């Protein structure tokens, strides 16, 4: 009996540590929802493919960038079908809601303003959907909000965004 109580307690603690929540935020008067996926670990941006016609270089439209990334990278076959940030957001179903995407640089800057509501380690960086070059995309350093050009295959934290219905 004593052992079964201990196991039950450990299972409950483990579930609560990995629970995801939706955080409502407002960006430029528009209502959004934010999903902090930092408890799931880090992921790559998605392969080294350059997105054709600079279709993922928007600094303000993460939804458009995300569609272009997923259309180009697909199932990430060049990297053993490993999960990647844009696809993770596209496939996310949280709270019965869909329509998530990887935020652009401007959207990431706005998200940084709500950093006290997220569980992201201050030493971490989050991916943006904004491509900077063929093998690089922008990450936002969580400590001070600075942007860096990072290799697309390097692992960083993922947050997803969606416009509220």
Complete domains list, the chain, with CATH: 22-163 (3.10.100)
Interval 112-145: pLDDT, tens? 999 999 999 999 999 999 999 889 999 999 999 9
What pLDDT is stored for residue 6 in this prediction? Answer: 36
Q: What is the pLDDT of residue 127?
A: 98
Burial 11-40 (b: 16+ CB within 10 A, else e): eeeeeeeeeeeeeebebeeeebbbbbbbee
Distance set, CA 15 to CA 10, 89, 127, 160 (Å): 9, 21, 25, 21
Find how far residue 81's CA is from the centre of its chain. 18
pLDDT at res. 49: 84
- In angstroms, the CA 99 to CA 101 distance is 7
Which parts of the chain register pLDDT below 50? 1-18
**CA distance linking residue 41 with residue 43, whole number of Å:** 7
Contact 45, 126 (CB under 8 A): no
Q: Residue 160: what pLDDT?
A: 98
pLDDT at 103 (0 to 100): 98
The whole-number pLDDT of residue 4 equals 43
Query: Hey, is 6 helix, strand or coil?
Result: helix
């Amino acid at each position: 009996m004593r052992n079964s109580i201990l196991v039950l307690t450990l299972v409950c603690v483990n579930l609560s540590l990995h629970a995801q929540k939706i955080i409502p935020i407002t960006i430029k008067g528009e209502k959004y929802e934010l999903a902090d996926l930092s408890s799931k670990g880090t992921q790559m941006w998605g392969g080294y493919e350059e997105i054709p016609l600079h279709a993922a270089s928007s600094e303000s439209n993460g939804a458009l960038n995300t569609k272009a990334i997923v259309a180009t990278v697909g199932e990430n076959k060049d990297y053993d079908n490993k999960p990647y940030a844009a696809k993770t957001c596209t496939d996310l179903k949280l709270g019965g809601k869909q329509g998530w995407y990887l935020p652009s640089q401007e959207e990431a800057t706005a998200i940084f303003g709500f950093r006290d509501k997220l569980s992201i380690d201050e030493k971490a960086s989050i991916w943006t959907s904004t491509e900077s070059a063929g093998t690089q995309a922008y990450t936002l350093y969580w400590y001070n909000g600075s942007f860096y050009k990072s290799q697309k295959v390097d692992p960083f934290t993922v947050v997803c965004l969606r416009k509220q219905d």
